[in-house]
Amino acid sequence: MGRLDDKVAIVTGAARGIGKAIAARFAAEGAVVVGVDVLAERGHETFTGLARGGARVDFLVGDVTDEARVAEIVAEVERDRGRIDVLVNNAAIQVEGRLHEQTVEAFHRVVDVNLLGTFLFSRAVLPAMLRQRSGVIINLSSVLGLVGDPVLPVYSATKAGILGLTRSVAVAYARDGIRCVAICPGDIDTELNDQYFNSQPDPVAFRAKVAREYPTKRIGTTDEIAGVAVFLASDDASFVNGTHVLADGGVLSRVYELET
């Protein structure tokens, strides 16, 4: 018996990184998982591999910023699977640079994928969840929704916005049996985080410096975040609503390094 037996879940940004890990863990826990991503080749490769391992999965190519395509995907999943139990809003991008270096075009790109995408998919699944009077929406925020980063100002703003949206959805739909929660990961070993490291003059040294900032002396793994998502999607978290889980290895719990 899995913790998510026969639950139908949609995971955005599922071709790689945290989304891929969440899709795999959900499937291992018995869920039917539909992955969504603009990375068609990577997505098909990922989900073909999961299916070969016996997982009940589908992959749909889709841009989370495309309102019409989002509606099509949600309608297709509900039609084919009969219900939608869990949505994981994971798709995200970032553009490195201090605020005075950022362009309006970059601002819109990051806001559209990270925040608008979360809004569009959440809005689209709510009618199905309201009909069945149950559902869980899990939003991927970040430690940068709680603190700032000098070269990720727009990304940080979107992740803070996601926390506000999470709280609003939670209080609006709790009586309808729908929960909305967020995860705030710290640095995780993903291609997106590698992009951040690679924006620095010495990526290897910078990555090592970041790892030393953590009490664990390492950054996190995608599977560690996937485990949190499984808990939040399961009935074990039935009274967890409108809040975030901070999965940061303790990095925000200290002021500065006292030990070498």
This prediction has a pTM of: 0.96
Residue 213 lies in a domain: no
- Domain limits at 89? 8-188+222-244
Residue 250 lies in a domain: no
Look up the CATH number of the domain holding residue 175. Answer: 3.40.50.720
Residue 216 lies in a domain: no
Residue 255 lies in a domain: no
145, 124 Cβ separation under 8 angstroms = no
Domain count, the chain: 1
> pLDDT digit string (tens) for 72-96?
999 999 999 999 999 999 999 999 9
1: pLDDT confidence band, cut at 50, 70 and 90? confident
Secondary structure letter of residue 115 according to DSSP: I
Q: For residue 5, how far is the Cα from the chain centroid?
A: 21
> Which residues are CB-contacts of 182 (< 8 A; sequence separation ≥ 6)?
138, 139, 140, 141, 145, 162, 163, 166, 243, 244, 245
Average pLDDT over residues 213-236: 97
Residue 89 lies in a domain: yes
Average pLDDT over residues 165-170: 98
Give the H/E segment covering residue 246. Answer: strand 244-247
Nearest to 120 by CA among 10, 211, 209, 260: 10
pLDDT of residue 219: 96
Give the H/E segment covering residue 171. Answer: helix 153-173
The residues annotated with a catalytic role in the active site are 155
Residue 99 lies in a domain: yes
Q: What gap in Å lies between CA 32 and CA 257, rounded to an integer?
A: 44
Q: What gap in Å lies between CA 170 and CA 241, rounded to an integer?
A: 6
> How many Cβ atoms sit within 10 Å of the Cβ of residue 205?
11
Which two tokens mark 237?
């978290």
260: pLDDT confidence band, cut at 50, 70 and 90? low
Residue 96 lies in a domain: yes
Residue 75 lies in a domain: yes
